Amino acid sequence: MQIKELEILLENFWIIKDQDKDLYNRIKDASPKFKNFLEEKLGLKLIINPYMIKLEKLPGKAEPWMGIQEFEEKIEYAFLCLLLIFLEDKGPGDQFVLSQATEFVQATFPGEEKVDWTLFRHRKSMVKVLRFAAEMYLIKVNDGDESGFADSAETEVLYESTGLARYFVRNFTGNILNYSSWQDIENGEWLDADKDRGKIRRNRVYRRLTMSPVVYCEGPDDHDYSYIKNYRSMIQKDIEDMLGSDLHVHKNGAFVVLAPDKHFKDVFPDNKTISDIVLQINAVIVELLNSGELEKDINDIIHVSNAKFQSIIEKCRQCCQHGWSKEYREMKTETLERAVVVYMKGFGMIEEDEHSREMHIMPLAGRITGTYPSDFV
Q: Which domains does the chain have, with CATH numbers?
A: 4-58+173-257 (no CATH), 74-167 (1.10.10), 273-367 (1.10.10)
pLDDT tens digits, 227-261: 999 999 999 999 999 988 999 999 889 999 988 77
Using the predicted structure, report yes or no on whether residue 14 has a pLDDT greater than 50: yes
Q: How far is CA 18 from the centre of its chain?
A: 26
Cα distances (Å, whole numbers) of residue 3 to 22, 33, 243, 260, 262: 17, 8, 6, 16, 12
Mean pLDDT of the region 141-148: 92
Using the predicted structure, report yes or no on whether residue 218 has a pLDDT greater than 90: no
User: 320, 339, 368: which is closest to 274 by C-alpha?
Assistant: 339
| C-alpha to C-alpha distance for 292 and 289, rounded to whole angstroms | 5
Neighbours of 156 (CB within 10 A): 14
Q: Which of 152-161, 175-184, 201-210, 349-358 has the lowest mean pLDDT?
A: 175-184
Q: What is the model's pLDDT at position 270? A: 87
List alpha helices for the chain, DSSP H: 4-11, 21-36, 74-87, 98-108, 120-135, 182-188, 198-211, 223-230, 232-243, 273-291, 306-320, 326-329, 333-346, 364-367
Mean pLDDT of the region 326-351: 93
| C-alpha to C-alpha distance for 113 and 168, rounded to whole angstroms | 26
Using the predicted structure, report yes or no on whether residue 189 has a pLDDT greater than 70: no
pTM of the predicted protein model = 0.86
Q: What is the model's pLDDT at position 193? A: 56
Question: By percentage, how much of the chain surpasses pLDDT 90?
Answer: 70
Name the burial class of residue 92, with classes exposed (0-12), middle (13-18) and buried (19+) by CB atoms within 10 angstroms of its CB.
exposed
Buried b (16+ CB within 10 A) or exposed e, 61-83: eeeeeeeeeebeeebbebbbbbb
Using the predicted structure, report yes or no on whether residue 190 has a pLDDT greater than 80: no
3-state secondary structure 102-149: HHHHHHHCCCCCCCCCCCHHHHHHHHHHHHHHHHCCCEEEEECCHHHH
Q: What is the model's pLDDT at position 170? A: 86
Query: Contact at 8 Å (CB) between 35 and 46?
Result: yes
Using the predicted structure, report yes or no on whether residue 177 has a pLDDT greater than 90: no
Phi-psi region of 359 (alpha: psi -120 to 50; beta: other; left: phi over 0): beta
Which tops the pLDDT comparison, 219 or 362?
362
| C-alpha to C-alpha distance for 81 and 83, rounded to whole angstroms | 5
Q: How far is CA 330 from the centre of its chain?
A: 28
Q: What is the model's pLDDT at position 1? A: 46
Q: Which of 36-40, 60-64, 96-100 has the lowest mean pLDDT?
A: 60-64
Query: Contact at 8 Å (CB) between 46 and 31?
Result: yes
pLDDT tens digits, 48-85: 999 999 999 988 888 878 888 889 999 999 999 999 99
Q: What is the model's pLDDT at position 58? A: 87
| C-alpha to C-alpha distance for 371 and 137, rounded to whole angstroms | 41
The mean predicted confidence, pLDDT, of the chain is: 90
